[in-house]
Amino acid sequence: MSTLLRLRLAGMVKGDTIKVKFNGYPLTVTGPVKPLTATPSSAWFHIEISPKWVKAGYNTIVLRLEAKRSAANPVVLDGLDVVVSYTDKILANQRQ
């Protein structure tokens, strides 16, 4: 089983970074899928989550933007997915 948190943030520029916690656990954010540029644009971040941290029902995600620029150009979270894949378990059951 694997779990992936996907975040889409609009208005990101080169030099912006994010810190993320999932149910209180700090996550390792390596950067956006595509490199940021000087022009504000949308960026997807794909972050691995331990399946043990995912609860049935509500889960809490804390997102913190770290930027060395003015707040005149806001960054907006406009996409969020938690993708849980049971592929390993399904394949194991098919082999039996």
- pLDDT tens across the length of the chain (96 residues): 789 999 999 999 999 999 999 999 999 999 999 999 999 999 999 999 999 999 989 999 999 999 887 777 889 999 999 998 877 554 444 444
Instruction: Specify the pTM.
Output: 0.83
Q: How far is CA 25 from the centre of its chain?
A: 13
Residue spans per domain, the chain: 2-68+77-95
d(CA 12, CA 75): 6
Look at residue 90 in the predicted model and tell me its pLDDT.
44
Rounded (5°) CA angle 14-18-36: 20
Look at residue 95 in the predicted model and tell me its pLDDT.
47
Q: Residue 67: which of 38, 45, 47, 44 has the closest Cα?
A: 38
